[in-house]
Amino acid sequence: MSGLHIYDGPLARPETADTKMKLIASLTSPYARKVRIVLAEKKIDCPIQVDVPWDAASAVPSYNPLGKVPVLELDDGMTLYDSRVIVEYLDNISPVSRLIPEGNRQAILTRRWEALADGVVDALVAIVLEQRRPAEKQMPEWIARQHEKIERALARLSADLGERAWCHGDGYGLADIAVGCCLCYLDFRLPALDWKTLYPNLEALRVKLSARPSFIDTAPPEN
């Protein structure tokens, strides 16, 4: 995997501070995938400590009080969360392939794409978790509310993309990475939702992004 390798040491937090940066992530998290793609695009070598936050033995709460992945542990033991904070940090530590444009307005418009794409993922995760509960305890109106968020957001993403090649500006950047992770996660978790017919421009973007090595190398394992 380009610039990425899996840490296979113990899950518990080491007693001594690590001398290298480390990403704590699960291999199916779309938020973690966004960070892993940023690492790959920027050619930053960073081991991944795979940890599933839902497991009873998970060490994630010792890195992030919210118990969520991704977390980036820095050389000095400082931990960064969440994915939006981590990607901004990573984009600033290396000049290779700048993913967030210069200038307040351009940067904020990129972050706006990211917020909407991450928001779709939030709604999708809420549906998946609700559907894992016993059928009699599930709240159909809660699931419907999340679906409405996803449908409105996809319409907005598609309208904002229009016929352009990339989400923001003239080139590939964080907006595309966030939207790509969101669309791939929709495919992964909610394949029955037929957004591709409704929004062929989003599907064309997903196909183009999925061919990039950074997306190929971070695809979630089949499960």
Ligand X SMILES: N[C@@H](CCC(=O)N[C@@H](CS)C(=O)NCC(=O)O)C(=O)O
d(CA 96, CA 103): 18
Which residues does residue 80 pair with via DSSP β-bridges, in sequence order?
Answer: 72
For ligand X, give the closer residue by CB, 29 or 110: 29
d(CA 40, CA 37): 5
Instruction: Provide the residue count of the chain.
Output: 223
Pair of tokens at residue 115: 């917020």
Pair of tokens at residue 58: 């998970």
For ligand X, give the closer residue by CB, 49 or 199: 49
| Least Cβ distance, residue 55 to ligand X (angstroms) | 10
What residue is closest to ligand X based on CB?
Answer: 82
Q: For tokens 């495919």, what's the residue? A: 187
For ligand X, give the closer residue by CB, 124 or 161: 124
For ligand X, give the closer residue by CB, 91 or 118: 118
| Least Cβ distance, residue 48 to ligand X (angstroms) | 14
**DSSP at 66:** T
For ligand X, give the closer residue by CB, 29 or 218: 29
d(CA 80, CA 219): 23
Pair of tokens at residue 152: 């409105």
- Amino acid occupying residue 106: Q
| Least Cβ distance, residue 201 to ligand X (angstroms) | 25
| Least Cβ distance, residue 198 to ligand X (angstroms) | 25
Site residues, ligand X (CB under 6 A): 29, 31, 53, 67-70, 82-84, 118, 125
For ligand X, give the closer residue by CB, 182 or 199: 182
Residue 25 backbone phi and psi in degrees, to 5: -155, 155
| Least Cβ distance, residue 195 to ligand X (angstroms) | 20
Cis peptide before 194 (omega within 30 of 0): no
Burial class (CB in 10 A: 0-12, 13-18, 19+), 117: buried
| Least Cβ distance, residue 71 to ligand X (angstroms) | 8
